[in-house]
Every structure is written in C-alpha cells, then in structure tokens.
Amino acid sequence: MSRFSKESVIAVIGAGAMGAGIAQVAASAGHQVLLFDAVEGAAEQGIVNTAKGLSRLVERERMTKQDADALVSRIQAVSSIEDLAPANLVIEAIVERLDIKQQVCRQLEEICSASTIIATNTSSISITAIASSLQRPQNLVGMHFFNPAPIMKLVEVISGLETDPQVATDIYNLSISWAKLPVHAKSTPGFIVNRVARSFYGEGLRINQEGATDFVTIDTLLRECGGFRMGPFELMDLIGQDVNYAVSCSVFEAFYHDQRFLPSLIQKELVDAGHLGRKSGKGFYDYSQSSEKGNITKIPSTVDLSSCPAAITVKGRLGIAEPLISLIEEKGIIVKRECEDDDEGMIKVGEAILMLTNGQFTTQRAAESYQPNLISFDLALDYQKASRIALAPSDGASKEAVKAASGLFQLIGKAVSIIDDIPGMVVMRTVCALANEGFDAVNQNVCNEAAVDIAMKGGVNYPFGPIEWANALGLNYTLAVIDNLMAVYGEDRYRASPLLRRKVAEKVLMAKGYSEQKGVC
C-alpha cells in the first residue's frame, strides 16, 4: 500500500523559483501544500508568481481558469516552520549549504511526526552528510527536481547510506503519481545528471581551448548535427558561468581531483571577469544588445558551395553513417560498392577519402594508412535529418580533396563546417565521453543503465540517452574512440570505463559463440 494519497499534506520550504515550482507540481497532483520561506512575504510572493504563470497557460488555452484557480487555492503560505507539523512529506529547496540544510532538517524532526519523510532538493550535497546529524536518518531522501520543476520531467530519487529503501520506493512512486520520470540513484558526487553532464561542457571547452573551431560553431554543430537543444556554451551562459563552474569544481573536489572532472581555465577566466552569461549581460555571448539572445545568432563557420563528382566509391561498411549512401543516391550520384565485408568503411569522392572519425587525429590516421587526402567527418544523431556536418581534413589533404568532400555533403543538403584536426572532432568525442561517464556511473553502482538514459533525456533534454547512443554507434566503436583519445592525450580524463570494456568483450564472446553454433570457426 502506498504511503501517500491525495489527502497527504505536502510541505515545501523555500519559495524561490524551484520551491514554488515544486509546490505547483504537488498542488497540480491534488495535494494540499504548505509553503514556507524564512524571508517574510516570500511565500506569498511565490504563490503570486505561480498564479501569474498559470494565467499565461490560461491565455494560451492550455488550462482552464477554473483549474488554475483551484490549483493555486491548494497552496497555502505559512509564516512559521512550526506550521508544517501536519505534513506527511516536507521537501526543502533552500540554499546549498550543508550546515543550513542540517539545521532545518533537525528542526523538522522536532516539529513533524516520526513517520514524516524529509526530502532534500539538493543538487550536489551528500544525502548521507545531511542525514548524519538527524535522529531519524532513515527518513531523509534526496528528491532532486530540475528547473523549471513544473515542466522538467526528471526527479532523481537519491538514497544516502541510512535511507530506508522503502522510503526511496515511496518517493519514487509518488513522483510517478506527479507525472514525473523518477530514477533511483546513490548519493555520490553529482548524482547522475550533474556527474554525466560534466562531459558535455568539458569537451566543448577543451575543443575550443585547443583551437579546433570557435564556440559558436561548436554550439551549432551540437545542435544541427548532434540534435542537442542547446550547445554547451549557450547552455553555460543560460545556467550562469559562476553556477556551472562551481558545480564543476564541487564534483572535481568531491572525486578527489579525478582528471575526468577537471574544470576549465577558460570558464574560470569568464567567472573572474564577471562575465557570467545572460544574467550579467555577457558570457561567451554578448547579451548587451536589445535582443534577448544578444549575438547568440552569430554565424558559425561554414564553407562556400563546391561542386561534387558524378560518382563515388564506397568501400567497406559505414555502420551508423550508412544512411548517407541513400541520400547520395537520391541525388543521382552513382555509388560503387567495394569490399562490403570490410569493417573500416570509407567514401572515395574525387581525391578525397572520407571516414567517420574514430578518436584519432585525421593526420595520424592518414599517416598510418598513407592516405594524405583523408578527411574525417563527425557523428550525427540522424544523418538524414542533420542540417550540418563537420569535416576535419588531414594536414596533407589537398584543396581539391576538401572541396570534393564539402561538395558531396552540400549536395545532400548539409551545411559544412571545416574544423582543425582534433581527435574525435565535436559530436563524436562529446557523445562518447558522455556514454563513457554513464557506463562508469553504472559500474560504480550509482544507478542502472536505464536510469542514465532517462536522467539525461528527462533532466537536461538530451536527444538520445548516452548509453542508447553508444549502443547505436556500436560499443566497440565507442570504446575505440575513447581508447584513441586516451592514446593521444595520455590523460585519465579519457580512461575507458571498466564496464564499457567488459561489455565489448561480452559482445565478442557472444558473436564467437553464435559463429561456432553455426559451424563457423
């Protein structure tokens, strides 16, 4: 039997954007909600802000006025923390300070009944640490919502060392009844989203730091080729450079300076300069103009139109990039296939040889195969729908080869960005780094594989779960990219997750077993 029903009273402490949003979610599910804030008048203002937001939904005919009024009526501002005594669940959404959270939770234990669950909306503080000062640590659980809480579906349900498993289950089920997508996670630095997402920001910053291309082009490639709603630089500007940098530093410190979470000097410079993003008027982009987005619409690096030969040769298997061939054939280009059983696929167009990046320098790969006109192309979420592609020519590639490669992609409707030769390019290294970190979270028993994908899609709107994407790319290819990045940089930042390596070995065993069953040795 569920611990909670529609009659259960929900209390929220903190009436800022997050706290008021959580109160709205609970009230929307039919609960009576008590809203408290230590700042006088803040709870009342939080309800006013909620009513204003709902009125806009009424104007857009996404909600009736009657339903909006009923929802607001279920949220009651209270003037004292003692007024939260009737609550069956108290969710705190206050300042991210361990001492203050411990103090408030101790107060709640004295005020509320012994069966009341206390949930913390912390995004980075250890649940175990918060619970360490409580008389009933088993009743404390993490309930991490994402901003804006009424819209974002994900809730990370985080168990500390003392959290009663039934409490975590009850909060998980309650989140479902609130139309959320909950995932279970263990209390470790960054939980799931803030841990795995470090790679999204970190790789973009690293690519820019090494001069592969400008930040506008990186953002554009991750949107138009990778399918992400926002690139890392515009997202960091939206979050706030200070906030994003602080989370990176917190996770880095909490993991005892693991190089995988190393913060960026580029971002530190912005923070030191006070260029915090949208809220300060300037970050990576300039928001000082009258437009809300400022110069965020700056043009990415895009090459001029080139012609394309009337025929190409495809050698081997292109794997995830195979949809390119049907696009090319639809444009009347003659496609000749060779060595279709070869795993390392390539497209020969004019003087150019095109290959999906594998995490090496294109120049290194060209030297190993003695193919000076080798040009790497980047990973795409959907090669048919992507409107842009990145190319990274080897240092020995001719101008004619680059033009032929560009012309081929332009012919099938892709804008082309030429970037400097960098291992793994933009989308590929970002996706593989995200997947590798996702597998490592699973390997360290933070959560399961499904939770990684649910969390990254539901919490930060990724177009595809990192582990799902790795499986689509091929786990062996994902591992090869990570291993090649490790070989180039020699940094622990790119060490492969043991679980990823194990899964690749498992697939090899299964494939061999299947072959032997078929009588093939």
Q: What is the pLDDT of residue 297?
A: 59
Give the DSSP H/E element, type plus range, for residue 315. strand 311-315
Give me the chain's average pLDDT, please.
94
Q: What whole-number distance in Å separates Cα of residue 159 and Cα of residue 465?
A: 23
Phi then psi for 377, rounded to 5 degrees? -120, 155
Three state DSSP letters for 210-256: CCCCCHHHHHHHHHHCCCCCCCHHHHHHHHCHHHHHHHHHHHHHHCC
In a shared domain, residues 339 and 372: yes
Examine residue 306 and state whether it is found in any structural domain, yes or no.
no
All residues at 6 or more sequence positions from 97 whose CB lies less than 8 Å from its CB, including other chains: none
Whether 128 shows a pLDDT value over 80: the answer reads yes
Q: What is the pLDDT of residue 2?
A: 72
Q: Please say if the pLDDT value at position 290 is more than 80.
A: no
- The band of 209, judged by pLDDT with boundaries at 50, 70 and 90, is very high
In this predicted model, what pLDDT tens digit does every residue of 49-107 receive, in sequence order? 999 999 999 999 999 999 999 999 999 999 999 999 999 999 999 999 999 999 999 99
Q: How far is CA 226 from the centre of its chain?
A: 12
Task: Mark whether 284 and 315 lie in a shared domain.
Answer: no
Predicted pLDDT at 296: 55
Mean pLDDT of the 166-193 span: 97
pLDDT at 256: 95
Q: What is the pTM of this model?
A: 0.93
Domain assignment of residue 254, yes or no: yes
**Statement to judge: residues 175 and 261 lie in one domain:** no
Q: What is the pLDDT of residues 348-406, one digit of tens each?
A: 999 999 999 999 999 999 999 999 999 999 999 999 999 999 999 999 999 999 999 99
**Identity of residue 11:** A
Per-residue pLDDT band for 521 (boundaries 50, 70, 90) equals very low
Query: What backbone phi and psi angles, to 5 degrees, belong to 312?
Result: -135, 165
Mean pLDDT on 125-137:
96
Contact 322/406 with Cβ under 8 angstroms? no
Residue 1 lies in a domain: no
Q: Kindly state the average pLDDT of the residues 9-21.
A: 96
Which letter does DSSP use for residue 21 in this model?
A: H
* Per-residue pLDDT, 1: 58
- Which amino acid does the sequence have at 95? V
Tell me the C-alpha distance between 144 and 32, whole Å: 21
Q: Which domain holds residue 456?
A: 427-480+493-517
Q: Does 292 have pLDDT greater than 70?
A: no
Catalytic center residues = 123, 144, 156, 194
**pLDDT over 90 at 35, yes or no:** yes
Tokens 């040795």, residue located: 521
Which of 136, 165, 187 is the last residue before a domain boundary? Answer: 187
Q: Residue 455 is part of a domain; what is its CATH number?
A: 1.10.1040.50
CATH, residue 150: 3.40.50.720
Task: Note the pLDDT of residue 309.
Answer: 87
Q: Which residue has the tokens 């009513």?
A: 51
Last residue of a domain, one of 398, 418, 438: 418
- What integer pLDDT is reported at residue 520 of this predicted model? 47
Same-domain status, 227 and 181? no
Does residue 110 lie in a domain region?
A: yes
Q: What percent of the chain has pLDDT over 90?
A: 91
Number of domains the chain is built from: 4
pLDDT of residue 124: 84
